[in-house]
Chain A
Amino acid sequence: MSKFKPNWLISVLTLVMASLVFGASFAASNKSTRTLEEKIQSLKKDVMKLNRDLFVLEEELLFPSSTQVAVFLSVDVGNFFRLDSVQLKLDDKVVTNYLYTQQEIQALARGGVQRLYVGNIKKGKRELVATFRGPGPNGREYKRATTFKFNKGTGTKYIELKIADESKNLQPEFVVKEWE
């Protein structure tokens, strides 16, 4: 016990020194697995590249631009409405029902844009109906549908559904925007 000086602070030094030894042993251990680590990095990158190529192929095969319609969803502010779910109808046919997780809601609130639906439609006049559900102003259950008529031409049709705040009447606003 004599090696422990009365000053308690010196003991803390001993404590820290012990941790150093421990830390060093981990560094040595990490070195031995570095080759495997590099191999894993390389595999991750290769699988990513493969995914990129296959997603491009998938779009080419399944959703050619002449028939492709893509619907995106975004949230701007969103103080008056918290999205729980959305249903999409294309020409009176339900094409998607989506239920949101807390993580997804947060990602949307931070400015992320969700690719909600990708499908194929023929050229001509089409109608999209989006029904949003969730707690609205004052926390009451809120359901609102927005209808959007558009013309499908030869190129890919991009449509963005945006949930915004209408500050004048303290109500949520559902805006539909066509992208070129």
Chain B
Amino acid sequence: MGITEYQVVKIKVLNKFKQQCRQWGLLLSIGGALCLPTANAGIYDGNASVVQELDYGEVLYQFYQAKYFTASVALLVAKQKGRLEAHKTDADLLLGGFYLAYGLHMDAESIFNKMLEQGAPEGVRTRIWLNLAKARYRKGAYNDAIRALEEIEGEMPADRKDEIQLLMSNLLMARGEYKQAVKVLQKLPSDNDNEAFAKYNLGIALYKSQQQILGAEQLDAVGLVKSNHPEVKALRDKANLALGFALLSAQDSKKARAYFERVRLSGPFSNKALLGLGWTSALQENYKEALSPWVELKSRTRTDAAVYESYLAVPYALEKLKAYNQALAAYDEAIKVLKEELVNVEHAESTIKDGKIWQQLIGKLDQNENSPVIEIKDLPSVLEVRYISSLIANNQFQEAIINLRDLQYLKLNLKKWRNDLPAFKHILDLRRKTYSERLPKLSPEKGNFRLAAFKKERDAYKNEFDKIVKNNDIKRLATPEEKNLVDRLNDMKDSLRRNKSRMDKQQYANYETKYKLLKGLMEWDIGSTIKPRQWKIQKQLRSLDKTIKETIEQQKAIERARKAAPRGFKGYAKKFKAYEKRIKSLQSGVDGAFEQQKKVVQDILVAELAWLKERLAEYLDQANYAMARLQDIGSNE
């Protein structure tokens, strides 16, 4: 290989590397990483308070499923109904957090500010300031976000301290104050949960504060982090890949190779690592060794540009190994594939520009508010994954899709309410009809008359009972059996009186004694149990009083309902009209925003495809040129 050709190859490698930086978004996160691991971290401390109201528990149930819209609505409803009194402070803090997670940064900030103005307790203030800082960070109000973090004071759990420091470092970096960011990040304990993210940021901050060696060391450390967490694994691969390509561009193939070899073979960065690995061998003119990762890469599904590049890299290595026929065949294959891809990309581009893609893409957007935004498997068939693979991991694209999904959810939500309103009206009409039919039957006059009769009867019983008690008329408290016995004793007394003349004295005296004994026994039986008998009657009278009182209450309730019912029905017609109007107006607003958002997504997609077309055309030129050159060599030989 001549010197000129060698330089051409190196320039090519470097150019590829630069292209890949852009294409893969490899270093995008280095420049602007907000390494806060989860979206809803800090919104709520799981055990901050025990659920004291069921509605609050329900809000948490929705929140724990990341259904921020539903959770917010449940919270607003419970608040309006006064069912969150026991969780007032937590509820406000949660609502602010939900708004933040749902992208309502301005409303979140307004809630947090209000809580601070109203003098939230010390422990809660920390959470408020932190959430406020996050809201401001997302709005791009970095100075205000830093001021919010500076308000935080007092004791707090270690993980929260770390979260605050991480956010502060990101804010400082966003303001270009890398030296200060380094100071903040260096204070973070090495055993914190976000160690890898912190080191990653520290590496970047060091770099940008002109401490490249230290920065590279940090990135190198990230490349060795052990973790089972998918996000950390991806970060590790990214760091290794970035360092690998950086070393490759610095002609240090040996060191570069070590970094590429650290990247997982099955991870999302494996294709790029295989490409880089091949180049480390190629730059050392070990083309046989370079073929191994490149052939493997070429055999893979064309999910990203690295695979495309292998179509050029393999014949290039074959050519260097002087396997001209095989190289020619491989270039021929590359030309066919690239041409085919160009046609496909152009087709995809026109489908997007014509707006035909939306029918497919919107259908793929999940109707659940908490579903993953968009995954590779969700893409419409016309939009091959490899065409927009770098967009899948791109924040701007993902946020655009999130907005689209949220607007789609709002559309469906409004449609549902619009369909439900007639049902509500129907229910109301039905109830109005039922009232109008039943109420006249519940004549209060008739009820009052019957109630008066009951009360009169009750009063009669009471008077009779009072007389019995006053006169100690125990016989009137006798049971029917006892009354029967009393009657029989009275009959016995009459019989004795009537037959006295016909009986001898002794016989009469015996019967009279017997009569008196039985009478005495009877009076004893009744007299000795008079108190329980009186108590029993009093209890029955009390029960009667209670029943009459309840009846009076019920009658009053019916009367109230009778009077209130027509009034209660009156307001609804107006309400329904107002709701219909609100729904229609919101539907129109959401539809408009949806169309505008589609345009945003469309522009991103078209720009990406245009860039890809350019790359494919360039690859095609290179393949055609190489093929022609090889054919020339063949004809000359």
Q: Are A and B genuine complex partners?
A: yes
B403 with A40: CB separation less than 8 A: yes
A13 with B212: CB separation less than 8 A: yes
* Contact flags A1-28 to B (C-beta < 8 A → 1, else 0): 1001111111111111011101100100
Assembly CA distance A158 to B57 (angstroms): 13
B428 with A61: CB separation less than 8 A: yes
| CB interface residues, B 88-140, toward A, < 8 Å | 102-107
Q: How large is the interface on B (under 10, 10 to 19, 20 to 34, 35 or more residues)?
A: 35 or more
Chain A residues with Cβ under 8 A from B208's Cβ?
Answer: 16, 20
Cβ of B65 < 8 Å from any Cβ of A?
Answer: yes
Closest to A54 in B: B417
Q: Which of B268-276, B359-367, B407-415 contacts A (4 or more CB under 8 A)?
A: B407-415
Q: Which of A29-37, A131-139, A140-148, A167-175 contacts B (4 or more CB under 8 A)?
A: A29-37
Cβ of B207 < 8 Å from any Cβ of A?
Answer: yes
With A12-B242, A40-B593 as contacts: A4 and B105 at CB distance below 8 Å:
no
A8 with B250: CB separation less than 8 A: yes
Chain A residues with Cβ under 8 A from B103's Cβ?
Answer: 40-41, 44
| CB interface residues, A 58-96, toward B, < 8 Å | 58, 61-62, 70, 72, 74
Closest to B407 in A: A40
Q: Which of B147-155, B164-172, B484-492, B583-591 contacts A (4 or more CB under 8 A)?
A: B583-591
Name which of B64, B420, B582, B583 has the most chain A CB atoms within 10 A of its CB: B64
Partner of A22, one of B27, B58, B104: B27
Closest to B27 in A: A19
Chain B residues with Cβ under 8 A from A19's Cβ?
Answer: 21, 26-28, 30-31
Min distance, Cβ B221 to any Cβ of chain A, angstroms: 14
Partner of B396, one of A13, A30, A47: A30
B250 with A20: CB separation less than 8 A: no
Cβ of B224 < 8 Å from any Cβ of A?
Answer: no
Chain B residues with Cβ under 8 A from A53's Cβ?
Answer: 579
Closest to B578 in A: A53
| CB interface residues, B 555-598, toward A, < 8 Å | 575, 579, 582-583, 586, 589-590, 593, 596-597
Chain B residues with Cβ under 8 A from A104's Cβ?
Answer: 61, 65
Assembly CA distance A74 to B56 (angstroms): 12
With A41-B106, A44-B103 as contacts: A15 and B21 at CB distance below 8 Å:
yes
B583 with A112: CB separation less than 8 A: no
Chain A residues with Cβ under 8 A from B207's Cβ?
Answer: 12-13, 16
Cβ of B141 < 8 Å from any Cβ of A?
Answer: no
Chain A residues with Cβ under 8 A from B252's Cβ?
Answer: 8
Partner of B212, one of A12, A18, A107: A12
Chain B residues with Cβ under 8 A from A16's Cβ?
Answer: 27, 30-31, 204, 207-208, 215
Assembly CA distance A111 to B57 (angstroms): 7
B410 with A47: CB separation less than 8 A: yes
Assembly CA distance A133 to B374 (angstroms): 34
Chain A residues with Cβ under 8 A from B32's Cβ?
Answer: 23, 26
Min distance, Cβ B284 to any Cβ of chain A, angstroms: 15
| CB interface residues, B 397-455, toward A, < 8 Å | 400, 403, 406-407, 410, 413-414, 417, 420, 424, 427-428, 431
Chain B residues with Cβ under 8 A from A150's Cβ?
Answer: none
* Contact flags B48-76 to A (C-beta < 8 A → 1, else 0): 00010010111011111100010011001
Among all A-B residue pairs, the 5 with the closest Cβ atoms: A113-B57, A112-B61, A19-B27, A107-B64, A8-B250
Q: Which residues of B contact A (CB under 8 A)?
A: 7, 10-11, 14, 18, 21-22, 25-28, 30-32, 46-47, 51, 54, 56-58, 60-65, 69, 72-73, 76-77, 80-81, 102-107, 204, 207-208, 212-213, 215-216, 219, 242-243, 245-247, 249-252, 255, 370, 395-396, 400, 403, 406-407, 410, 413-414, 417, 420, 424, 427-428, 431, 575, 579, 582-583, 586, 589-590, 593, 596-597, 600
Q: A9-B212, A12-B243, A20-B31 are in contact. List 16 more A-B contacts (CB 8 A).
A: A15-B246, A26-B32, A26-B395, A36-B597, A44-B410, A46-B586, A57-B575, A106-B64, A107-B60, A110-B46, A111-B47, A112-B58, A112-B65, A113-B51, A113-B56, A158-B54
Give 26 A-B contacts (CB < 8 Å), ordered by A residue: A4-B249, A11-B249, A15-B21, A15-B27, A15-B242, A16-B207, A18-B18, A23-B32, A29-B396, A36-B600, A39-B593, A41-B106, A43-B407, A44-B104, A47-B590, A51-B417, A52-B77, A53-B579, A54-B579, A55-B77, A58-B424, A61-B431, A70-B54, A104-B65, A107-B64, A114-B58
